Amino acid sequence: MKKLKVLLIGIIAIIAVLFFTGRHMRTSQGHTGSNTLTIYNWGDYIDPDLIKKFEQETGYKVSYETFDSNEAMFTKIKQGGTSYDLTIPSEYMIQKMMKEEMLHPLDYSKIKGIDEIDPRFLNLDFDPGNQYSIPYFWGTLGIIYNDKQFNEEDIQHWDDLWKPEVHNSLMLIDGAREVMGLALNSDGHSLNSTDDKELKQASEKLSRLTGSVKAIVADEIKMYMINEEATVAVTFSGEASEMVDSNEHLHYVIPNEGSNLWFDNIVIPKTAKNIDGAYDFINFMLEPENAAQNAEYIGYATPNKKALALMPEEITSDEQFYPSDEVINNLEVYEDLGLDYLSIYNELFLEFKMHRN
């Protein structure tokens, strides 16, 4: 009888150990393996509360990393190492990733809410039929200035950056396509030019801009302009929106001789590990209330037409950041220039930066 009691106690103890071990393993897996969604996004490009909301609604744990250029993102994904489930490149980089077969084709039977997207932002040249990408934000490149130093008529065109009054006051975004593009546009050329003569002309013109440049940076432009440590800058519309909200003396201009119209879309890299989680996040961000919350927080323009209806009219009617079709039609989308001309753009931009130093 005593032996039987000992045997029963032993069995109960083993069952208890197995129960608690299994419970612990299930709990631990809540933040690893298939329950983790790894997102690679631009800095300051999502409302952090939306990530928390997504985690609460779905049970996924989001691992979130940021990049500061399309090229940096491309290189890291190409090299492997970390397996990102989602990333948000710009249109020309989506083209490049498609060519290099780095993207997972989308299964629309798993996507809910694509009808919420304004048709103007679907089926664009860089991804016909949106086979690989879902619109996230769109915007422009322009000039922001402080009205304490400049009147409205002083800063309306790219050429105004070369004025003597701008000496040592200009902040430039650290991007070869953006800086070479503004120089090309200022001379009436396409920002996708592959004409060697036009590129040389743009490079020579940039060399005469060095005296105006205070710094070539990225996210720091916001701080400099808001704190009035610089008076004029070239920046993206969403960044400008945040600056304008923080300092009433700042104004954003899209030069009428042309500029960049860009689109950032969500894609799933082929190396993604959590495909189901990626679709869940896409569907979450397509929900109008989430898209509206994100657009209000970030300041960039949303392509989600139902989200627009949920946002304050003072935001959606502001043509600085939601420009008219007439303005949009005068803008250009970056094209994938191919490796040779991308290298030329990068070399000329590097020469400009070195010449400045």
Q: Which run of H or of E encompasses 145?
A: strand 134-146
Closest by Cα among 281, 313, 306 to 292? 306
Residue among 142, 44, 100 at smallest CA distance from 267? 100
Reduced to 3 states (helix: H, G, I; strand: E, B; else coil), residue 140 is strand
Percent helix, strand, coil in the chain, to 5, is: 50, 15, 30
Strand 170-173 relative to strand 232-236, pairing: parallel
Looking from the CA of 237 toward its CB, the CA atoms found within 13 Å total 25
Token digits of residue 188: 């009436």
Q: What is the distance between the alpha carbons of residues 142 and 328, in angstroms, rounded to a whole number?
A: 13
Nearest to 352 by CA among 152, 188, 172, 191: 172
Cβ neighbours of 225 (radius 10 Å): 27
User: Which residue has tokens 């909200």?
Assistant: 245
C-alpha to C-alpha distance for 182 and 184, rounded to whole angstroms = 5
- Judge whether 92 is annotated as a binding position: yes
Annotated binding site for spermidine: 92
User: What residues form the annotated binding site?
Assistant: 92
